[in-house]
Structure 1
Amino acid sequence: MLKKFYQLIILPYTLFLLYLMFFGMGRYQYDDNIVRMQPIISTIWFIEGTISWFEIVKIVLGNVVMFISFGFLGWFFPHLQDLKKLLTAFVSAIVIVEALQYFSRLGVFDVDDIILNTFGVYLGFLMKNFIEKRFANRIV
């Protein structure tokens, strides 16, 4: 039942995330193309420049939490049951999305986003494995 629900919801959820990444949360088109390639530095700058802890948690933690569901992609694509294959496919896809944000100027190509999103996928993969072991007979 859980796998079937996941298979039903993952496509609309992915489309929702893409909307957020390009148009949601007050996004606008930048005048310049922006690339942030120094790992962790842009996140530290963001934290230092943000007064509201709510904004910090929303953006930084959101970049992890919003991608946990992609750790379960093995339920939709059986060849992604392997962590290495899953992370390779995800990093490839998220780099394309970040590049599209860069070229459209509807976002920033930020290596920290790639790191945080991928960490979310890894956490989701761990959760999926836990659920499969703990509730093996109830997730079909």
Structure 2
Amino acid sequence: MMKLLKDFFIVSYCSVTIYIVFFARRRRGLSERFLNVVPIKYKLVELAKLSPHFDKEWYNFYLNLFGNIALFVPFPLLIFLVIGVNESYKFIFISFFTSLLIEIMQYTFKVGVADIDDILLNTIGAIVGVALMRGIGRLNIHA
């Protein structure tokens, strides 16, 4: 039963993540590549341009901000289940480079915006995931 749950989690998480980062409707139909290599600057510019009233633009801003974090919270568990890593710095290192690879692929295939902020937010999500795993205490995660 545990193997079935493990396999279900792995397949589900990977499928949802691949869909979100490569195939979601907002990712389709780009005619040119977009690249942001300046951390935080464009998020602040985007925030300053938002209307003073909460609307769809605010919703999209927060969805992008917190969605990038939430997307990678389960990632350390995936790494643990698939390759057996159990050291915090390795989870973070693998998460960072996986996010970097995703952004490179998005740029290469003109799918979404290749954004340094996404890499930072994904890595923050992985750090939260590691903290949760360590907090649960059932997994022997080393600092």
SS in 2 for 1:76: helix
> Which residue of 2 is the match for residue 8 of structure 1?
8
1:49 deviation in Å?
3.3
1:109 deviation in Å?
1.1
C-alpha distance 130-101 of structure 1, shift in aligned 2 (>3 A):
same
Q: Which residues of structure 1 form unaligned runs of 5+?
A: none
State the one-letter code of the partner of 2:73.
Answer: I
C-alpha distance 126-48 of structure 1, shift in aligned 2 (>3 A):
same
Q: CA RMSD in A?
A: 2.3
Q: Which residues of structure 2 form unaligned runs of 5+?
A: 52-56
> Which residue of 2 is the match for residue 132 of structure 1?
137
> Which residue of 1 is the match for residue 31 of structure 2?
31
Q: Find out whether 1:63 has 2:68 as its counterpart.
A: yes
1:71 deviation in Å?
2.6
Higher relative contact order (CA 8 A, sep 6+): 1
Identity %: 24
1:74 deviation in Å?
5.0
Distance 1:69 1:89 in 2: 13
> Which residue of 2 is the match for residue 41 of structure 1?
41
Distance 2:45 2:74 in 1: 28
> Which residue of 2 is the match for residue 114 of structure 1?
119
Distance 2:78 2:86 in 1: 8
1:77 deviation in Å?
3.9
Question: Number of matched residues?
Answer: 134
